Amino acid sequence: MMALLTSSSAWAGAWTFPKGKLWTKLTFMSQDTNEDYIGVPRPNIARGTRQPYLLEGEYSSRTFFLDAMYGITDQLNVGIQVPFFDQTFQDQELNILFGGPISSSGFSDIRFFAKRKLIDAPVVSSLKFGFKAPTGSFENRQGLIPVGEGQWDFDFILQVGRSFWPFRAYANADVGYRVRMKNGEIDRDPGDELFWIAEFGYQWTDKLLTVLKWEGIDGKETTSLGLQLTGDVKKIQYISPAVLFRTTDTIAIEAGIRLSINGQNFPAGPVFQVGVNYEGIPFTR
C-alpha cells in the first residue's frame, strides 16, 4: 500500500543551504484507519467517496523517514531520503484465507535529489530533480504488502518561495511531476503523478515556528498487462498544520498532523507525525 506521502518538511523549500551546511531530519509517521477513499464506484456511491473498508478492513502504518540535504555550493544542494515501512492490513477475508492480518516491514525505495537555485529576487526559485531507485524488497504474491514498488521514478520540481520580512512569515510552493517507469517483473506501468505542496509559516519567536500546508498527489491511470485500469488511480490531498520548536542552535523538534480532505485509492483519516531536525556545519577544519 505505502499510502503515505513522503516526509515533506522539505529542507528549506525553494531556499538552498549554504556551502558546507548539512540538514538532516528523522521523521516518524503513524496512521490507523478503517476507511479509505474508494477507487471503484459502488452502487449509489461515487468513486473517491470516503467509505469504511469492505469486510471490516483495518489498515495500520508506522513509518520512519531519514532525510538529509547538503550544500555543495551556495546554489547547489544534494540530498537523500531513506524510508522504513511497517504496515498491516486485515479484514474478514484475510482472517479466513490466511488466519490473520497481512503485514510487511523493511526499508523501502531510496530517493536521491539535487536542487539548483535559479534566482534570489523578487522571489526565491529553485529547480529540484530527484529519482527513486527500486532498492526496497518487492514480492508479487497474494497476501503480501511489499515495502518496495519494484520500479524507478523521476521527479521534476519547481519551487518558489518568498520571505515577508520584517513580518516574520514566509510562503513556499512546490509543483512537481513524477515520471513513473514500468515494473517489468509484473508488466505493470503505474500512472505518472502531479504533486504539490503550498506552505505558509510564521515564526512567533526565535525558537517557535508554526506551519500550515496544503499538499497532494494527483495520479494517472495504471496500465497492467496492456490494460488501462480506471479503478487504479491514486489521489490524495491533506491539510497539514505543524509546530517546530528549536531546542538549540542546531536541533529542532517538530510535531504535526495530516488531515485528509479527499482522495482516491488512499487510506482516509489523520496521519500523526513527529520529527527531529539537525542543521549545522559538521565538517570543519
Q: Select from 220, 252, 256 the least CA-distant residue to 238.
A: 256
Q: Are 234 and 36 in contact (CB under 8 A)?
A: no
C-alpha cell of 276?
Answer: 527531529
Residue 93 — φ and ψ, nearest 5°? -65, -45
Question: Residue 282, SS3?
Answer: coil
Please, which residues bridge with residue 89 across strands?
Answer: 59, 102
Residue 141 — φ and ψ, nearest 5°? -150, 150
Q: Are 150 and 183 in contact (CB under 8 A)?
A: yes
Mode of pairing for the β-strands spanning 235-246 and 58-71: unpaired
The Cβ-side half-sphere exposure at 38, using a 13 Å CA radius, reads 15
CB atoms within 10 A of CB 245: 13
Q: Are 158 and 129 in contact (CB under 8 A)?
A: no
The whole model's pTM is what? Answer: 0.90
C-alpha cell of 28?
Answer: 516518524
Residue 231 — φ and ψ, nearest 5°? -85, -10
Residue 239's Cβ-count burial label (10 Å; 0-12, 13-18, 19+) is middle
End-to-end Cα spacing for the chain? 46
Per-residue pLDDT of the chain (285 residues; tens, 9 = 90+): 444 455 544 457 899 999 999 999 999 999 999 999 998 888 899 999 999 998 888 999 999 999 999 999 999 999 999 999 999 988 888 888 878 888 889 999 999 999 999 999 899 999 999 999 999 887 665 555 778 888 999 999 999 999 999 999 999 999 999 999 988 888 888 899 999 999 999 999 999 999 999 999 999 988 888 787 777 889 999 999 999 999 999 999 999 999 999 999 999 999 999 999 999 998 765
